[in-house]
Chain A
Amino acid sequence: MIYLAGIERIFQVGDEAVHALSNVNLTLNAGEYIAIMGPSGSGKSTLLNIIGLLDRPDRGVYRLEDVDTTDLTDDQQASVRRHKIGFVFQFFHLVPRLTAAENVELPLILAGVAPAERQPRVQAALSALGLSGRAKHRPDQLSGGQRQRVAIARATIMQPNVILADEPTGNLDRNSGKDVIQSLEDLNKKGMTLILVTHDPDLGSRALRKIQMVDGKILENTRAS
């Protein structure tokens, strides 16, 4: 379902060309649970951004669900992000002036879903993550774990096939982190492909498949048996 071949991504830093990704080949099947690991600067976030269609590779082929994404227009990419990909970030990225429910509603608003249809979907997404009682709270009235769960509800409201989580527990204490990982793994069990970027080895070892990256290259690609 995700097919990457010969992906190169080069950033120009001053006079120097930095290979953020060089010759990355990766194939993921639907419903997989995969952890991308590596030190900072190893290119794991860049890889995630390319998979999430926020960035374009300089070379190589990326097919998402058998659609070649390299020649999609900006608007088409936005549309793919909206319908097929859910993002979860380290810093939650909730809109501070909106309530939890309104934050979750945002993707539906951008997609032009009618208000009558939006409310039940938002309620369902919040209660699936145990946040029914927090719908009217603003982000600053929520704990870190709750904020990240709101972000997960927002990432899943459009029923995407892929969840991309970039250090989702990086800003949380251990307990909330566990809850958040549990929530993400629950989604994976329901069939969503889960791609987790982390440098926490404990977290990485929970995934069924592990990718170790160094200097923009995939060093190891192991599958737990």
Chain B
Amino acid sequence: MLLNDSIKLAIGSLSSRRMRSFLTALGIAVGIASVVLLTSIGEGVHKFVLSEFTQFGTNLIAVTPGRATTTGISGAIISNVRPLSMDDALALERIPRVVAVAPFVQGNAPVEFGKHSRRSYIFGVGPEVPTVWRIKVAMGRFLPYDDPRAARAFAVLGSKLRDELFGSENPLDRRIRIGGERYRVIGVMESKGQMLGFDLDDAVYIPAARALAMFDRESLMEIDLLYAAGSTADEIAKKIKGLLIARHGAEDFTITTQEQMLDVLGSVLNILTLAVGALGGISLLVGSVGILTIMTIAVNERTAEIGLLRAIGARRRQILVLFLGEAVVLASIGGLAGLVIGAGGAWLLGAMVPALPTHTPWSYVVLAEILAGFIGLLAGVLPARHAANLDPIEALRAE
């Protein structure tokens, strides 16, 4: 029997019972549509979150004080964690292939201008931050390359803070008070928007050493390093580790490369996508039970036909193929419709609710269609086997 003929026969018998075939295919269509739609949303969120994190660049390495992996030593022992100092930051700058280093300390303090006052994030940073974090200066300039240990009292405003304090006035060269200290505004940053609910525009950037003093801290919270493209994160991380161990005497810091972070984040988000996809899979399961039911009914109804086919020389295998073919064609048509509905729904959702990012990866689409066909095969196996194993004489007698 030719493949073409098997498919034609399957489509012929399905289209002779249009309503029933339509409803059964609809069950699969709904299942595939929900899988596609939900994974599209999952993938969209995945991409969205990753882009939030990579907006600072991907060649980043962060050094934070303290060991992240505990070794089980009780907290009662005096901590011998040494602070990450400005000197550490300066030393790291000298590592070859490190392009820029940004010390970072963050706090919260009132920012005052005239009668206006607002509590904002205070970012104590170095002059390299625009390069490392990929933020642009909208107006004026960023913090200058002063002696890091005795930096002048300059401040650069986030765009939102500038709006709040100055409105339409020109803020450049104006004096503001931050945590009671006087600063001169030398620049305004471009709006960077929110990152996971953390408003980067409602902030003021001041030299790190001044921020340390303001918050009475010894240690930087983080040192971010940008390395040249072409080097691997691991080899740079190894050099940082060597340098800091030499300076601190022990490994009392943690190095997190952007790659590692994205890996961890990516795997978490993959599980999220998988989980919502599995939810859609439940409706797919229901759809496949529909196929099983309809094929069982079809085999019972067409017992006489099966008997006839056996009498005119059909092998058991051919009967099996015919009924399996019907189940697979049914599921594939349903799957195709589901793909259109699911991908269309995802697109529509993305167009109507721009805040909800959706993304339909083509590999998922192909996978979903293969899955639909496979489900048809699986759901068709039992009824088709039953049909193939019918006794031809008994089958012919049924009418």
* Contacting pair A75 B12 (CB below 8 A): no
> Is B399's beta carbon under 8 Å from chain A?
yes
> Is A97's beta carbon under 8 Å from chain B?
yes
Q: Report the Cα distance A52→B311, complex, angstroms.
A: 8
> Is B77's beta carbon under 8 Å from chain A?
no
Contact of A95 among B305, B317, B318 (CB under 8 A): B305
* Total A-B residue contacts, Cβ distance less than 8 Å: 72
> Is B2's beta carbon under 8 Å from chain A?
yes
Contacts of B172 in A (CB 8 A): none
Contacts of B311 in A (CB 8 A): 52, 54, 81, 87, 89, 93
* Contacting pair B308 A93 (CB below 8 A): yes
Contacts of A98 in B (CB 8 A): 12
> Is A210's beta carbon under 8 Å from chain B?
no
* Contacting pair B305 A87 (CB below 8 A): no
Contacts of B304 in A (CB 8 A): 91, 93
Encoded as 1 (CB less than 8 Å from any B CB) or 0, chain A from 61 to 80 comes to: 00000000000001100110
Contacts of B305 in A (CB 8 A): 93, 95
Contacts of B317 in A (CB 8 A): 75
Closest chain B residue to A78 by CB distance?
Answer: B315
Contact of B314 among A78, A154, A155 (CB under 8 A): A78
> Is A55's beta carbon under 8 Å from chain B?
yes
Chain B binding surface SS class: helix
> Is B396's beta carbon under 8 Å from chain A?
yes
Contacts of A109 in B (CB 8 A): 1-2, 5, 9
Q: Which of B13, B308, B311, B396 has the most CB of A within 10 A?
A: B311
* Contacting pair A82 B2 (CB below 8 A): no
> Is B310's beta carbon under 8 Å from chain A?
yes
Encoded as 1 (CB less than 8 Å from any A CB) or 0, chain B from 300 to 322 comes to: 00001101111111111110000
> Is B90's beta carbon under 8 Å from chain A?
no
Q: Which of B13, B313, B318, B399 has the most CB of A within 10 A?
A: B313
> Is B16's beta carbon under 8 Å from chain A?
yes
CB proximity to B under 8 Å, residues A85-103: 87, 89, 91, 93, 95, 97-98
* Contacting pair B313 A110 (CB below 8 A): yes
Min Cβ gap B132→A in Å is: 70
* Contacting pair A54 B310 (CB below 8 A): yes
Q: Report the Cα distance A78→B388, complex, angstroms.
A: 13
Q: Report the Cα distance A69→B142, complex, angstroms.
A: 97
Q: Report the Cα distance A145→B304, complex, angstroms.
A: 20
Q: Report the Cα distance A83→B315, complex, angstroms.
A: 13
- Interface bin, chain A: 20 to 34
Min Cβ gap B101→A in Å is: 75
> Is A60's beta carbon under 8 Å from chain B?
no
A107-B312 contact in complex given A49-B393, A98-B12, C-beta closer than 8 Å: yes
Contact of B13 among A91, A97, A114 (CB under 8 A): A97
> Is A129's beta carbon under 8 Å from chain B?
no
> Is A106's beta carbon under 8 Å from chain B?
yes
* Contacting pair B313 A111 (CB below 8 A): yes
> Is B290's beta carbon under 8 Å from chain A?
no
> Is A14's beta carbon under 8 Å from chain B?
no
Closest chain A residue to B312 by CB distance?
Answer: A107
* Contacting pair B313 A74 (CB below 8 A): no
> Is B392's beta carbon under 8 Å from chain A?
yes
* Contacting pair B313 A79 (CB below 8 A): yes
Q: Which of B12, B310, B392 has the most CB of A within 10 A?
A: B392
Q: Report the Cα distance A49→B311, complex, angstroms.
A: 10
Contacts of A112 in B (CB 8 A): 1-2
Min Cβ gap A182→B in Å is: 23
* Contacting pair B314 A93 (CB below 8 A): no
A82-B393 contact in complex given A93-B308, A110-B318, C-beta closer than 8 Å: no
Q: Report the Cα distance A78→B392, complex, angstroms.
A: 11
* Contacting pair B314 A110 (CB below 8 A): yes
Closest chain B residue to A158 by CB distance?
Answer: B313
Closest chain A residue to B318 by CB distance?
Answer: A110
Closest chain B residue to A83 by CB distance?
Answer: B313
Q: Report the Cα distance A49→B392, complex, angstroms.
A: 10
Contact of B313 among A78, A91, A93, A115 (CB under 8 A): A78
* Contacting pair B13 A154 (CB below 8 A): no
Contacts of A114 in B (CB 8 A): 2
CB proximity to A under 8 Å, residues B184-208: none
* Contacting pair A154 B393 (CB below 8 A): no
A54-B314 contact in complex given A95-B308, A110-B309, A112-B1, C-beta closer than 8 Å: no
A93-B396, A97-B13 provided; 8 other pairs, C-beta below 8 A? A78-B315, A91-B399, A95-B305, A97-B12, A97-B16, A107-B313, A109-B9, A110-B312
Residues of A whose CB lies within 8 Å of any CB of B are 49, 52, 54-55, 74-75, 78-79, 81-83, 87, 89, 91, 93, 95, 97-98, 106-107, 109-112, 114-115, 154-155, 158
Residues of B whose CB lies within 8 Å of any CB of A are 1-2, 4-5, 9, 12-13, 16, 304-305, 307-318, 392-393, 396, 399
